[in-house]
Structure 1
């Protein structure tokens, strides 16, 4: 039986991002934890010989237990003097790499333990941000893709109604080369946000190590100095493309200077050039945008040689390869497993193992599949149901053992069996099947009735059903069981219809309505 849900560090995501070469500071920002937590988690994982390659198939809970159980005593490192580091960096020819080597030599001479270069760089960036010191940002090829929606929208005309429809413009840019991708969408919802990223990666022919979005709800649920929460669907997209999401800090335009500049240039170069054209469809608009986009990327720089396209020829060799299949947009929902071991999502019902009854689970919906997860571990998969509402998708292995015997029976088979017993039994079975909102809900009563045949004989069952139908048009299973147990049904076959006393003759005799109310 599953235990109680407990919050835990996302060790799996930390290992995944570390395998991509993402810096610890950025991992901490993406995983909503402190840099110290990231450092300790990676160290514990290394001590346990756990890496992304051999941990990706473990559940979050299992991975957490292995890492925590393998925890050893912490090691104290020597903190560098970053005021000295920052001062030395202002001198010609001095780099952070050189200062790190000097710092390591000093620690060894003093018998102290130095930080590795990734932590050394991380702490220096923290120092720069904290003290408001300026630092030159040099973009590396293939490292970052920045994305945003342009503030300006374009209008198209609906040919059916003649109304004007506003189109949002998505922009993605590679800061190293300035190479951009632009596309129009009818809304800024989650589906279009995801599709825009997939199309961007396809256009660039590869993936960057880091993805820098603005703080839109479709991508980032919360981003503050103390907490970063990434939209789950967006995080799933990043995992599919093996990239890391590092949102721009709120109120820090320097974090997205390249994309902000590119958005302005796109608005001037592409959108302004299309301002006098009329478009009758989104497809027509995007064809015009992509034509202008090609000119934009090939346009020569004013202050240096080459163009965005020529710079991109150098950069694309550093991009990560695309996965075999593009990401399929998914919707995540939370549901509680009901007593019938099903979860209800969009008015359709999907089964999961009965052990998870009353537990909250996460449900992932794509165009074709429905997956159910508990604590990050997938416990059920179904084809997605469309069409009629309230339909059920049930897997036999998810049922309790005493329910599995009903699987091979259906309404037609129960009715066929009832006809073999007699017309009165058939009426009762038909009543069980039609009195419920969903036919399957009557299967249990039908199966119990079928089992009574072996205990009381077919003739006895038929007589009991006949007697029950004289009391009410919709007899309950309990009333038939009571008649059979009383053993009086043997005498009913000899009773003549003339001897039957109408129930309305005596005031103290309960009528059919009374028994109908008890038929639950």
Structure 2
């Protein structure tokens, strides 16, 4: 056998798994060998089978793929005469191919986050996860082996919208093919088709992009029934996460504050409540355009709407931040009557008579509370019995009469249906002081 055949036989040993055909043995060596033509054919079959891929089935409302487009659009400022670049942000839902495109003036972190907020607002809902590139404004590190570390602000945005950031593998654009495809379409439709138009601001460019985007999403599919908009509205949006009450806002850290004993911190001459478990600790503040976020140990514990700069000595208090004993609220007639109903029907009658005896309900609150506070010392049942006794003797019982009944124990002496005669309780107070016969006798002796 010649040298060329020996080289072919040696190469065949390395692709033994691919060579499944008939082969013989080199005499005296026991190694497989084959002809060069057969080796090429079997190796080509092996490579063909090695490149077989499976079709990925997309799930509705599960993923949105986001990216920056490479091409830019010029913005001509009519005031300064300068020309700046506009960058395109794209986002695509792989299941319905429903798309979003927006132009920004830069590719900074704040613009990246604001585009996400606008995208979720355009969708009207939030997918379960976000797939992006390993850009510096979104991912701190993405090691081959180990945990992915997203940017803090990007992670905060994901937590605000109850979604997750799952970056694609490094240098693997096929991990987000729908986003890459939308980049191509956006560059052709915006950068290419609008190249002859002159835009003087980002708002003007975004209005033109919005018109194209609405038509793009409403256009029917070529190989599928319906359109991007129809599939999104009917199948995908119901499977997505609802939007939070307030959109996410980018902001800056504003230092730390110590939580006072009243569960509040002071920021710019106003007070904001913090959960009572954090009294005495220091918390971090993050200010946005409209809100003040309070953080502790890497977790956001409270969010308040910022007071205006001209306002001072105002308080923003959440009921959940205060302990139960600190949840003070002013007494009013419904609250007093609710307490009386918890004591018993006779207490309700007594409290009603007290309120009827005053021209204004506010005047009756203190006398009624004085009666109801007797339940703390004597118990609800004894106060209920005392009210039953007093209401049949006095038209409008007060604290003094009820306390006399409770101190002397007369609430236990009267049976049901018996006409009570309460000691020390004047049924009808005298009209005045009248001197008796003994007094006149003493005056005569003098």
Give the TM-score normalised by the residue count of structure 2: 0.49
Q: Choose 1 or 2 for highest CA Rg.
A: 2
Greater share of helix: 1
Greater share of strand: 2
Give the TM-score normalised by the residue count of structure 1: 0.43
